[in-house]
Amino acid sequence: MVAGHNEIVKGYETLPDEELWARARSHDGDAFGELFERHADAVYNHCFRRTGSWSVAEDLTSVVFLETWRQRQQVAFHGESFLPWLLAVANNAIRNTNRSIRRYGRLLAKLPNPVAIPDQSEEAIGRIDDERAMRGVLDAFNQLSVLDQEVLSLCDWAGLSYEEAAAALDVPPGTVRSRLFRARARLREVLTAGAQDESEAPETPKGRES
Amino acid sequence: MIVQLPPSRSLPTNRRYAARRQLEETVGTKKASPRRRRLILLVAIALIVASAVAGIALLRTAPVTDKRTARCYTLAKLGSDKTFSGTTIGVAGPPGSVAQVDDAISSCSDLWRQGFLVPGASGIQRPKPDTSNPVPPLIACTLVDGRAGIFPGDSNTCATLGLPLAGQ
């Protein structure tokens, strides 16, 4: 039985997302598990880049998949990958992070504590550095409009194509293209202005951490 | 200026494993859709209510165990064992037999129709010729001694008198 089970699960690795989703819709937990395995890291990193917190990103990753399952009647595929849909769900969850996490609080409480690794490990220190760096980027990023934020994070940070991002955001691909150029320029402008302010600001002993 | 993002990282192994297991269990468990759950809930409530109503009706029903005689009442009032508004009826059978009042309502209706029963009167009355005699709505209750008591009234009359409805 175990060998047979492994064989089936191994077979899932070769199936396209659409087929896995069809099986998941028929309550095949292993198929959904395989979709999670495939896209969890992409969702995790997307959530981190939008929130600046690895622990929040861990919770949101579970929330995205649970929410996708809850709204399974609405799921639509655009192209072969399930990722655009997942990132669209992620964007909704990020917009209401606290509410999203609260909704699944009971299930999240059953999971291991986020980032349960030794405090002084290289990994832990690296994650703290990541969060500090990401917060710096988000200070500028959050000055963009919501749509610009979503276009830029989906295309430039998560690597979706214009068509995939358009499907995720439910806007025409042309809008994604024009928004992306504008968002890049705007972000560059904000970051440059921020850098100039910092270089012009008088040095104080309690200046902002770099 | 190029935005420098922190490098991508993998979901921590223990969290990844637990989250996957949780999702597999969630998806693998078949739950009724909200619409279906609502339907099941409504059906369950309807069944409970129907059972309760049937149970109450059953509790308020008792079989007629003595069919040798029955009482036709002219008022929805019990009276005493010997004095009451109405009359006692029986059915004649072959000599030596004990005939049964199988349809007391029908028998009492006939007496009302023929003018032998008058509202509020005790015993049999002399019918007035050439007059139509209305039959009031009648209901059969089971008296404490097991006989049928036919009262003018409706389905609430038996309960009002503290009697069960006459059952089969």
ipTM of the modeled complex: 0.81
The tokens for A68 are 């996708």
Q: What is the pLDDT of residue A4?
A: 44
Would the CB atoms of A27 and B30 count as touching at under 8 Å? yes
Query: CA-CA distance, B99 to B90, in Å (whole number)?
Result: 8
Ordered strands of the B138-142 beta sheet: B61-63, B165-167, B138-142, B148-152, B69-73, B86-90
Whether A13 contacts chain B with CB within 8 A:
no
Closest CA to B4 of A51, A184, A134: A134
**Domain topology for A12-197:** Rna Polymerase Sigma Factor; Chain: A (1.10.1740)
Mean pLDDT in residue range A149-156: 93
Would the CB atoms of A107 and B22 count as touching at under 8 Å? yes
The answer to whether B78 and B71 have CB atoms below 8 angstroms apart is: no
| Whether residue A186 has pLDDT greater than 80 | yes
The tokens for B131 are 């007059």
CB pairs under 8 A between A and B: 101
* DSSP per-residue string spanning A40-88: HHHHHHHHHHHHS-HHHHHHHHHHHHHHHHHTGGG---SSS-SHHHHHH
Query: CA-CA distance, B72 to B61, in Å (whole number)?
Result: 19
Q: Please count the residues of chain A.
A: 210
* DSSP per-residue string spanning chain B: ----PPPP-PPPHHHHHHHHHHHHHHHHS----HHHHHHHHHHHHHHHHHHHHHHHHHHTEEE----SEEEEESSS----SS--SEEEEE---STT-----S-HHHHHHHHHHTTS--TT--S--PPPTT---PPPPEEEEE-TTS-EEEEES-TTHHHHTT-PEEE-
Whether A112 contacts chain B with CB within 8 A:
yes
The alpha-carbon gap from B38 to the nearest alpha carbon of chain A, in Å, equals 17
- For B64-119, the pLDDT digits (tens) are 888 888 899 999 998 877 788 899 888 777 776 666 777 889 989 999 998 889 89
Whether A37 contacts chain B with CB within 8 A:
yes
The alpha-carbon gap from A171 to the nearest alpha carbon of chain B, in Å, equals 25
Place of tokens 């029903």: B61
| Whether residue A155 has pLDDT greater than 50 | yes
- For A101-131, the pLDDT digits (tens) are 888 888 888 888 765 555 667 878 888 999 9
The tokens for B128 are 């007035």
- For B17-61, the pLDDT digits (tens) are 999 999 999 998 876 667 777 888 899 999 988 887 766 765 688
Range B96-131 burial, b when 16+ CB lie within 10 A, else e: eeeebbeebbebbbebbeebbbbeeeeebeeeeeee
Whether A110 contacts chain B with CB within 8 A:
yes
Chain B positions with Cβ closer than 8 Å to A: 1, 3-12, 14-16, 18-30
* DSSP per-residue string spanning A171-184: S-HHHHHHHHHHHH
The tokens for B25 are 């269990």
Mutate to test the interface with B, among A36, A86, A122, A149 (most CBs of B within 10 A): A36
Nearest CA in chain B to A194: B1
Average model confidence (pLDDT) across chain A: 85
Q: Give the pTM.
A: 0.60
- Integer-rounded Cα Rg, in Å, for chain B is 34
The alpha-carbon gap from B45 to the nearest alpha carbon of chain A, in Å, equals 26
- For B123-155, the pLDDT digits (tens) are 888 888 777 788 999 999 999 889 999 999 998
**Dihedral angle, C-alpha B73, B78, B82, B88, nearest 10 °:** 20
Would the CB atoms of B15 and A116 count as touching at under 8 Å? yes
Q: What is the pLDDT of residue A177?
A: 94
Query: CA-CA distance, A151 to A165, in Å (whole number)?
Result: 7
The DSSP call for residue A120 is: T
Query: CA-CA distance, A86 to A166, in Å (whole number)?
Result: 13
pLDDT-derived band at A6, boundaries 50, 70, 90: very low
Q: What is the pLDDT of residue A102?
A: 85
